[in-house]
């Protein structure tokens, strides 16, 4: 302490007192935080825990310059002293208070700048197994050009001292803490995520609630997520739902957050790359414990879901050890689904995951679980993300086709599934025949679902455009009434839905391009159906043109 001259003293915080100091030799100004410890042993333990902060070097984290323990004779106690840079920045707490007084919202760009920088900083810290333990607006500095910096870290010894927590932390300060931290004095990287979620929520609602009401809402989060009803923006509400899960195991970590669309945008806005935020293995951990058996391997895979290299390694192992994978179908499907969702931008992980799921689909249990975990929706999104990757498209389509055939995909995921399946990636004649039968079956099974009917028409038109096989198969569906009958019946059932009728006409226009099917259409009086449509929808140009084209072609053949 003899190296510094105290310039000013701030109000005491939850765990200590902060001074503005000047170094005697250089004249440079710093911030010095003194934290009271119960005894010298605990002070030295806290010092060892905090030494890692000296090596922290990130633009959104205040630099720590020196750490030492001293004896304060005035209060007869050992003190952990931490010397930090003294950036002349205001605190986020002051800025939020200003917005609250003026009843002004934070601009979306401002919120995204904050979110991107905080996620980047926490990813840096958590990759080094460093926790903040005390994240709140008063511990986040900011400049006029929207640069944010985290400061004032806590240590395990201090924050896990029940006596100090109960005495020094006021109730309104606990509202930033995760449920497990308040109740059990447990901290993890997920606790930091909770605290960041609370800060973000406060920024989103400060213009509509006074400080007391806002703090009550934050405290309420530990009971339920009803405060999120105040959030209008769906993206932020979805994000906060993941950040504020009461169970830390279900709460998103920083790497999962980095895959959220709004966070990706925020990272790009503040100059960071979403691809650069990748989790690494802790020191001493080298790789999956393959020698310990599949249970240990799957546990390791789930523990390090965010480490791409680990996921690839375990997926390769499971593909080679198919029998072992089949013996743990439920656990394997869950682990693979987690890998797919966490690494949606990794083509290698998507490919290996789909190949493995394709192997597992022979088991009924796997098919049902894949749908339950939302994997089908992810498969559909992947098809759209990798439209030209044949190695990914083939297993994707087989997964969708299998789940649809077994009845697990309808009605919720069926519309997008059949459309994508039929238009994007069915090339073999036997697959086209099977898809045509499947589409007719879905029309029969879900006649009241306008959305499904609509997508069936679109999917079938896509099939027929590229394949006469589909057109002919439509006329001769095995064990079914002629497919044209089902198509016309479905259209009539939803005759008041313009989009259904438009896609019905589009389907017929594609169908009549194949001369061989026109006699059958005429026999079913399709021309009369088109005539009725022209009268009913005479004011809708697109539908009229499609109907006229189909009718003209039919009459020319007649």
Contact 236, 130 (CB under 8 A): no
| pLDDT over threshold 70, residue 539 | yes
**How does pLDDT run across 310-353, given as a tens digit for each residue?**
999 999 999 999 999 999 988 998 899 888 887 877 889 988 98
Q: Is 345 helix (H, G, I), strand (E, B) or coil?
A: coil
Q: Which residue has the higher pLDDT, 508 or 422?
A: 508
Structure tokens at 163: 């006596």
Q: What is the pTM of this model?
A: 0.64
166 Cβ partners below 8 Å, 6+ apart? none
**Rounded Cα distance, 263 and 243, in Å:** 12
Which one, of 167, 154, 148, lies nearest residue 59 by Cα?
148
Asked if domains 4-85 and 281-409 share a fold, the reply is no
Mean pLDDT to the nearest integer, 156-172: 69
**Rounded Cα distance, 335 and 537, in Å:** 51
DSSP track, 96-118: HHHHHHHT-PPPHHHHHHHHHHH
Q: Which fold has domain 4-85?
A: Phosphorylase Kinase; domain 1 (3.30.200)
Contact 481, 487 (CB under 8 A): no
**How does pLDDT run across 425-463, given as a tens digit for each residue?**
455 666 677 777 777 877 787 788 887 788 788 778 877
Top-confidence range, 191-205, 318-332, 388-402, 481-495: 191-205
**How does pLDDT run across 267-313, given as a tens digit for each residue?**
999 888 766 677 788 778 889 999 999 999 999 999 888 888 999 99
How many residues are recorded in the chain?
A: 558
**How does pLDDT run across 106-116, given as a tens digit for each residue?**
999 999 999 99
The confidence score (pLDDT) of residue 417 equals 54
**Rounded Cα distance, 189 and 254, in Å:** 8
CATH superfamily of 90-276: Transferase(Phosphotransferase) domain 1 (1.10.510.10)
Domain boundaries, the chain: 4-85, 90-276, 281-409, 429-557
If pLDDT is split at 50, 70 and 90, which confidence band does 406 have?
low
Cα three-residue angle 398-404-409, rounded to 5 degrees: 120
- Report the first-to-last Cα separation within the chain, whole angstroms: 102
CATH classification (class only), 281-409: mainly alpha
Residues β-bridged to residue 33: 18, 82
């Amino acid at each position: 302490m003899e190296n510094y001259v105290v310039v000013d003293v701030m109000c005491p915080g939850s765990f200590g007192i902060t001074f503005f100091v000047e170094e005697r030799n250089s004249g440079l100004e710093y911030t010095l935080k003194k934290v009271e410890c119960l005894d010298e042993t605990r002070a030295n333990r806290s010092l060892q825990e905090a030494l890692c902060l000296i090596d922290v070097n990130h633009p959104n984290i205040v630099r720590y310059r020196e750490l030492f323990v001293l004896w304060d004779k005035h209060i007869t106690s050992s003190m952990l002293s931490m010397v930090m840079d003294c950036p002349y920045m205001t605190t986020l707490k002051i800025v939020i208070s200003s917005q609250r007084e003026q009843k002004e919202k934070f601009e979306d760009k401002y919120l995204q700048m904050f979110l991107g920088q905080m996620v980047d900083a926490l990813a840096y810290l958590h990759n080094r197994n460093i926790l903040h333990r005390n994240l709140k607006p008063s511990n986040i500095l900011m400049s006029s050009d929207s640069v944010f910096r985290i400061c004032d870290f806590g240590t395990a010894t201090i924050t896990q001292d029940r006596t100090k927590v109960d005495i020094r932390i006021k109730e309104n300060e606990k509202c930033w803490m995760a449920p497990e931290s308040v109740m059990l004095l447990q901290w993890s990287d997920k606790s930091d995520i909770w605290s960041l979620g609370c800060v973000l929520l406060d920024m989103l609602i400060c213009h509509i609630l006074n400080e007391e009401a806002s703090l009550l809402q934050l405290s309420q989060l530990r009971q339920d997520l009803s405060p999120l009803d105040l959030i209008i923006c769906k993206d932020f509400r979805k994000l906060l739902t993941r950040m504020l899960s009461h169970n830390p195991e279900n709460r998103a970590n920083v790497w999962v957050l980095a895959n959220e669309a709004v966070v990706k945008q925020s990272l790009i806005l503040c100059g960071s790359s979403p691809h650069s935020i990748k989790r690494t293995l802790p020191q001493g951990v080298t790789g999956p414990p393959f020698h310990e058996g599949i249970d240990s391997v799957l546990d390791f895979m789930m523990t390090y879901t965010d480490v791409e290299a680990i996921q690839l390694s375990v997926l390769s192992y499971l593909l080679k050890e198919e029998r072992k994978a089949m013996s743990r179908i439920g656990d394997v499907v869950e682990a693979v689904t987690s890998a797919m969702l966490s690494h949606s931008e990794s083509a290698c992980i998507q490919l290996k995951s789909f190949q493995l799921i394709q192997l597992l689909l022979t088991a009924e249990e796997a098919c049902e679980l894949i749908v339950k975990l939302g994997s089908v929706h992810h498969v559909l999104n992947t098809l759209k993300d990798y439209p030209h990757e044949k190695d990914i498209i083939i297993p994707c389509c087989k997964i969708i086709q299998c789940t649809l055939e077994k009845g697990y995909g309808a009605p919720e995921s069926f519309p997008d599934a059949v459309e994508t399946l039929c238009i994007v990636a069915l090339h073999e004649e036997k697959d086209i025949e099977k898809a045509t039968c499947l589409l007719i079956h879905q029309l029969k099974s879900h006649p009241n679902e306008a959305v499904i009917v609509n997508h069936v028409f679109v999917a079938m038109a896509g099939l027929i455009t590229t394949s006469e096989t589909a057109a002919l198969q439509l006329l001769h569906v095995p064990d079914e009434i002629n497919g044209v009958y089902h198509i016309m019946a479905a259209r009539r059932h939803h005759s008041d839905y313009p989009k259904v009728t438009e896609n019905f006409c589009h389907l017929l226009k594609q169908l009549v391009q194949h001369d061989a099917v026109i006699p059958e259409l005429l026999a079913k009086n399709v021309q009369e159906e088109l005539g009725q449509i022209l009268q009913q929808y005479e004011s809708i140009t697109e539908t009229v043109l499609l109907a006229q084209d189909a009718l003209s072609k039919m009459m020319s053949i007649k």
